Structure 1
Amino acid sequence: MPAGSGIPAEACDPELSATALRGLAVQCVDLGYRAEAVQLGEACVDYGRNLDSPRAVACYEATLANAAEEHLHHALDMRVRLRRYSGSPEAQELRERAARVAG
């Protein structure tokens, strides 16, 4: 079980913690909080790593993979738009947003 505090650590039940974190990661993806979704997905995988259910572990790993894919796709999309509008006044705003997403 990963080190840390908060509700997942207090649950003392790795599967419950991983499932709750998975739900939060999915919500973050849906709401556009991609970097946070990746962090929650990583924590989800950490909590579920030693479970006896390969199906559950695969589900948690798929959640992390989906969050990472969304995060990367968004960052690449920002860079493409930045190149497309590099001569426009919107370019600086896009550069700043791309840096926040990638960083």
Structure 2
Amino acid sequence: METTIHVSLGIDEAIEILDDAVINGSITGEKLDHYEVRFSDRRVVVMVYEKHFYRVGNRLTLTVTIDDASGATRVHYIGGGGGEGLFRFDWGASQSFGRIVEDKLRPYETWL
């Protein structure tokens, strides 16, 4: 499941909320990477989180891209890595991981 939402937060505020939810909100959550590109007065930040999900017996990733290129803060995310074998069936774990972004940032969602 991939989704894009716009929020009324700044990039740093959104990152702080997500870091707290994934890293501090679970025993196995961690941030694997954080990459930032600045251009003029705008930024793009890509973060990759990882967390163990017991229902699939392995670790899943959550990739989040946050930018303010359009003037508003846009958050795009997708969870993955939970499938096994050829079929990538993960019992909904990747959607559950992505829902962390929705649950934490939805209160700040804005409509352009």
TM-score, length-scaled by structure 2: 0.29
- Higher relative CO (Cα under 8 Å, sequence separation at least 6) belongs to 2
Instruction: From the two aligned structures, give the one with the greater helix fraction.
Output: 1
Q: Computing the radius of gyration over CA atoms, which structure comes out larger, 1 or 2? A: 1
